[in-house]
Amino acid sequence: MAHDNIPGSGKLQELEKVALEAAQVGAEILQKYAKAGFRIKHKNPLNLVTDADLDSERAIVEVIRATYPTHQILAEEEGSHSSQNSSYKWIIDPLDGTTNFAHGFPAYNVSIGLEYEGKCILGVVIDPTRDEVFVAGGGSGATLNRKPIHVSAVPKLDQALLVTGFGYDIRENPENNLDEFCRFTLCAQGVRRTGSAALDMCYVACGRFDGFWELKLNPWDVAAGLVIVQEAGGKVTTYQDEPFSIYGRKMVASNGFIHGEILEVLQRGGLK
Ligand code: IPD
Ligand code: CA
Ligand code: CA
């Protein structure tokens, strides 16, 4: 029997198959460009886009369109691809971690999330540099390369490895996450910045990180990761402990145990 607002398991399997195929096609394109080289353009001084972002997105959209021509699509580079009013919306980051990719730093991925009637129900993230495939959907748990994953059991912030990121407006906008970065660096076991929000969320889901906070993320950065963290037993909220929407701008994802301590540090203000 289907849950409220969630398609039945047969339909979900079919959707997951298409999501995986599309992400795989995108990931192969990224690796093709990583080997052969690519052009880089600047959206602004810090925000890059490469041939790989654009080609990956085109190919992913093509795969989804071939099976679901009426579904809505929201993709980072081309925006909204459909005016149709389907209950389904695919949310695509064809290359999450473009700065890393452009520098040859192997921390990037393809991220595909799916909304049904406004709720994220499926997430697929493929990291082609490590051959890692993260999947979650339909409440049946999250997996990494088909094996179940779970968030960590780290109970306290001072034992936690955290991760964060910075927006592309960091040079001009004082709301730049640097104070928060200082505060957490002084009270967590460690803080990392990988440059790939979707991987940050997947790493919380499989216990490599214990918590992740960031502001100014876009829906395509977090749609897949949200489902993966939640189905791995983690917690995702706003900085105010409200339910997180992928269209919101401030997010905390954690193993649940350290969530309250993270929120307290975010709300504290100042450098320490
Ligand atoms: C970026 C990465 C980065 C995060 C930025 C995102 P992009 O995505 O996820 O980790 O800090 O906020 O925009 O531009 O590489 O797809
Ligand atoms: Ca991204
Ligand atoms: Ca991107």
Atom of ligand 1 nearest to the CA of 200: 10
SS3 (DSSP) at 259: helix
Which pLDDT does position 1 carry in this prediction? 39
Q: Which ligand is nearest to the CA of 101?
A: 1
Q: pLDDT confidence of 5, banded at 50, 70, 90?
A: low
> Is the pLDDT score of 229 beyond 60?
yes
Residues in a beta bridge with 260:
none
Instruction: Please state, for a pLDDT cut of 70, what percent of the chain lies above it.
Output: 97
- pLDDT score at 83: 61
Distance 247 CA to ligand 3 centre (A): 16
What per-residue confidence (pLDDT) applies to 6?
78
Domain 9-148 has what CATH class?
alpha beta
In the block, tokens 């997996």 appear at 143
79 pLDDT band (50/70/90 cuts)?
confident
Tens of pLDDT, residue by residue over 81-109, are 766 789 999 999 999 999 999 999 999 99
Write down the H helix ranges in 68-196: 98-103, 178-187
The single residue listed with the structure tokens 């992928």 is: 246
What are the residue ranges spanned by the domains of the chain?
9-148, 157-268
The fold adopted by the segment(s) 157-268 is D-Maltodextrin-Binding Protein; domain 2 (3.40.190)
Q: pLDDT tens-digit profile of 23-78?
A: 999 999 999 999 999 999 998 889 999 999 999 999 999 999 999 999 999 999 98
- Nearest ligand for residue 48 CA: 1
Per DSSP, the three-state class of 219 is helix
What does residue 227 show for φ and ψ, rounded to 5 degrees?
Answer: -65, -40
Residue 218: pLDDT band with limits 50, 70, 90: very high
Is the model's pLDDT at 211 over the cut of 60? yes
Residue 114 confidence (pLDDT):
98
**Separation between Cα atoms, residue 8 and residue 6, nearest integer Å:** 6
pLDDT of residue 45: 87
DSSP structure class, residue 2: P
Atom number in ligand 1 closest to CA 98: 15
Between the CA of 236 and the centroid of ligand 3 the distance, in Å, is 21
Q: What is the pTM of this model?
A: 0.96
Ligand with minimal distance to 57 CA: 3
Which atom of ligand 1 is found nearest the CA of 218? 13
3-state secondary structure of 121: strand
Which residue is listed with tokens 């100042």?
Answer: 270
Percent of all residues in the chain with a pLDDT value above 90, rounded to a whole number: 89
Q: Quick one: pLDDT band at residue 269, thresholds 50, 70, 90?
A: confident
At 120-136, the pLDDT tens digits run: 999 999 999 999 999 99
**How many beta carbons lie within 10 A of that of residue 267, not counting itself?**
10
Whole-number Å distance between alpha carbons of 235 and 258: 10
- Mutating to test ligand 1, I would choose from 53, 74, 76, 217 the residue with most ligand atoms within 8 A of its C-beta, which is 217
Q: Which element (helix H / strand E) includes 226?
A: helix 219-231
Query: Which parts of 37-107 fold into alpha helices (H)?
Result: 51-67, 98-103
Atom number, ligand 1, closest to the C-alpha of residue 93? 16
If you measure from the C-alpha of residue 98 to the centroid of ligand 2, how many angstroms do you get, rounded to a whole number? Answer: 8
Residue nearest to atom 16 of ligand 1 (CA): 96
Burial label, 50 (beta-carbon count in 10 A; 0-12, 13-18, 19+):
buried
Cα–Cα nearest to 22, from 55, 62, 53: 62
Residue 33 is predicted with a pLDDT of 98
C-alpha 130/C-alpha 46 separation (Å) is 26
For the chain, what is the mean pLDDT? Answer: 95
Mean pLDDT, rounded, for 256-272: 94
Measured between alpha carbons, how far is residue 14 from residues 9, 99, 121, 223, 240 in Å? 9, 33, 13, 19, 36
Residues 82, 66: Cα–Cα separation, whole Å: 14
How remote is the CA of residue 1 from the centroid of ligand 2, in Å? 35
> What separation in Å is there between the alpha carbon of 50 and the centre of ligand 3?
10
C-alpha 3 to ligand 2 mean position (Å): 30
**pLDDT surpasses 80 at 4:** no
Residue 253 has pLDDT above 70, yes or no: yes
Q: Which of 42-46, 145-149, 241-245 has the lowest mean pLDDT?
A: 42-46
> Which ligand has its closest atom nearest to the C-alpha of 165?
1
Ligand 1 centroid to Cα of residue 4, in Å, is 32
Q: Which of 206, 213, 171 is nearest to 191 (CA)?
A: 213
Q: Which residues contact 227 (CB under 8 A, 6 or more apart)?
A: 113, 120, 121, 122, 123, 136, 137, 142
Ligand 1 — pocket residues by CB below 6 A? 93, 96-99, 165-167, 195-197, 214, 217, 221
